[in-house]
């Protein structure tokens, strides 16, 4: 079997890259180790930057998003018993975000891929990538009980942090940077209308809390917890009681409760691998970098990566110009490190570090006060949150 681009992973990065290439007449095969049902039901973040929204619309994947997504012009920072709105649209010349779950983005892209008849193989487990540093890379995988080999001009690893693609790069040719945070998120989905029109990021002495939403009828909420937390130790009532405490504000605001349909614990870490290219193997999305979810950057970074890759691969395969592939890693990493810094900023600004002393806590409160009092500080937060235009030099 042969193709122009072998894409490992049918998450948003791999599926969107396949869609962008297809619209440029570039053939690809997408290999995914999990089942379609699993892929389409994985719960992930759901905040889309303006640039991500634009890319999905332009490639024909925005119809349901525009119909069902929730456009947000701002967020609320809540601390000290008061809420402070950051008007992102006003501070960034009208740029805003869309609340539309990654689960739904994946479903839309899967449907488009299948409708087009292009190759998308679920339960195709890749074992290794060979010859990445040659002109003829090969992907070895198992599907329908048999071993297969896929020859390609280029291989894109979009198979996540634990995937095989990054492991195909010799250890001496890649450098990794990592930070693990001393807390995690307990996230829930609840069948109850959101208690807020926009996201609430709450900083409290008991820990961080986030009120988000999936739809007008489904709420998504998070609590900062110790990293070794077992979600089974948190029954519904305990979760709602703790959320009530952390969202407490002077006034008549009330957190509505409802049946919890899903709960899970997400570790908090930052990770970057450099470079993002080894020969004809290119990395994108979580295979190359991880950000803590506080800044809502994971999915958006993946979209930025594959937007660059689609342009570079089209130039190389369609016009014999590989200059954009040569600069892909450096260009993508500038945005990656900007997002890493912003995610670190939001995480340390809002979470309670169990190792912090009174001095550190007072500094944190001073920083929060400054962000909501200074137009310049609020603008910096807003422009990072809504995302810089794709193609902007950062």
Cβ atoms within 10 Å, residue 57: 13
Whether residue 148 lies in the annotated active site: no
Give 108-135 pLDDT, tens digit per residue: 999 999 999 999 999 999 999 999 999 9
Rounded CA separation 99/109 (Å): 17
Contact 14, 97 (CB under 8 A): no
By CB atoms closer than 10 A (0-12, 13-18, 19+), residue 117 is exposed
Residue-level pLDDT at 310 = 98
Residue-level pLDDT at 180 = 96
- Active-site residue among 72, 211, 289, 351? 72
Give the alpha-carbon dihedral of 295, 296, 301, 302, to 10 degrees.
150
Residue-level pLDDT at 25 = 97
Among the listed residues 159, 215, 165, 184, the one whose alpha carbon sits nearest the alpha carbon of residue 39? 159
Whether residue 201 lies in the annotated active site: yes
| pTM listed for this prediction | 0.95
DSSP 171: G
Q: Which domains does the chain have, with CATH numbers?
A: 2-71+98-179+270-351 (3.50.50.60)
Whether residue 385 lies in the annotated active site: yes
pLDDT confidence band for 170 (50 / 70 / 90):
very high
- Active-site residue among 137, 194, 293, 351? 293
Residue-level pLDDT at 42 = 80
Q: In what side-by-side order are the strands of the sheet with 260-274?
A: 82-87, 74-79, 200-202, 209-215, 218-225, 175-190, 260-274, 289-290
Contact 74, 89 (CB under 8 A): yes
What are the φ and ψ backbone dihedral angles of 268, each rounded to 5 degrees?
-110, 115
- Give CA 236 to chain center in angstroms: 27
pLDDT confidence band for 43 (50 / 70 / 90):
confident
- Active-site residue among 204, 211, 289, 297? 297
- Active-site residue among 201, 222, 278, 328? 201
Whether residue 182 lies in the annotated active site: no
Pairing type for strands 47-48 and 28-31 reads unpaired
Radius of gyration, CA atoms only, the chain: 21
- Checking if the pLDDT of 370 tops 80, the result is yes
State the distance between the two ends of the chain, measured CA to CA, in whole angstroms: 40
pLDDT confidence band for 19 (50 / 70 / 90):
very high
Rounded CA separation 299/285 (Å): 7
- Active-site residue among 141, 181, 278, 385? 385
Q: Is 323 helix (H, G, I), strand (E, B) or coil?
A: helix
Rounded CA separation 204/185 (Å): 14
Residue-level pLDDT at 195 = 97
Residue-level pLDDT at 393 = 76
Residue-level pLDDT at 251 = 87
By CB atoms closer than 10 A (0-12, 13-18, 19+), residue 25 is exposed
Whether residue 289 lies in the annotated active site: no
């Amino acid at each position: 079997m042969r193709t122009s681009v072998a894409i490992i992973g049918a998450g948003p990065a791999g599926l969107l890259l396949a869609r962008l290439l297809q619209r440029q007449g570039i053939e690809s095969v997408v290999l995914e180790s999990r089942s379609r049902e699993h892929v389409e039901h994985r719960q992930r973040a759901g905040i889309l930057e303006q640039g991500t929204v634009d890319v999905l619309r332009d490639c024909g994947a925005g119809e349901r998003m525009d119909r069902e997504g929730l456009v947000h012009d701002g967020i609320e920072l809540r601390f000290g018993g008061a809420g402070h709105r950051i008007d992102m649209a006003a501070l960034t010349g009208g740029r805003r975000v869309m609340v539309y779950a990654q689960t739904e983005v994946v479903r839309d892209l899967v449907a488009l891929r299948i409708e087009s008849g292009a190759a998308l193989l679920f339960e195709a487990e890749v074992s290794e990538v060979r010859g990445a540093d040659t002109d003829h890379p090969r992907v070895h995988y198992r599907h329908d009980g048999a071993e297969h080999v896929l020859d390609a001009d280029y291989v894109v690893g979009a198979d996540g942090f634990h995937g095989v693609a990054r492991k195909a790069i010799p250890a001496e040719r890649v450098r990794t940077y990592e930070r693990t945070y001393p807390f995690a998120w307990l996230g829930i989905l609840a069948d109850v209308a959101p208690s807020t029109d926009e996201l609430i990021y709450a900083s409290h002495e008991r820990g961080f809390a986030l009120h988000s939403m999936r739809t007008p009828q489904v709420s998504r909420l998070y609590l900062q917890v110790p990293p070794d937390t077992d979600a089974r130790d948190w029954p519904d009532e305990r979760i709602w009681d703790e959320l009530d405490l952390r969202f407490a504000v002077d006034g008549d605001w009330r957190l509505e409760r409802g049946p919890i349909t899903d709960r899970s614990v997400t570790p908090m870490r930052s990770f970057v691998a450099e470079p993002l290219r080894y020969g004809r193997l290119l990395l994108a999305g979580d295979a190359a970098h991880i950000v803590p979810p506080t800044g809502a950057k994971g999915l958006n970074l993946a979209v930025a990566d594959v937007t660059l890759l689609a342009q570079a691969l089209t130039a190389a395969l369609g016009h014999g110009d590989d200059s954009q592939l040569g600069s892909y890693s450096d260009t993508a990493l500038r945005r990656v490190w900007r997002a890493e810094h912003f995610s670190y900023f939001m995480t340390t600004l809002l979470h309670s570090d169990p190792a912090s002393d009174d001095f550190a806590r007072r500094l944190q409160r001073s920083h929060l006060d400054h962000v909501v009092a200074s137009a310049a500080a609020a603008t910096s937060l807003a422009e990072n949150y809504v995302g810089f235009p794709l193609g902007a030099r950062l």
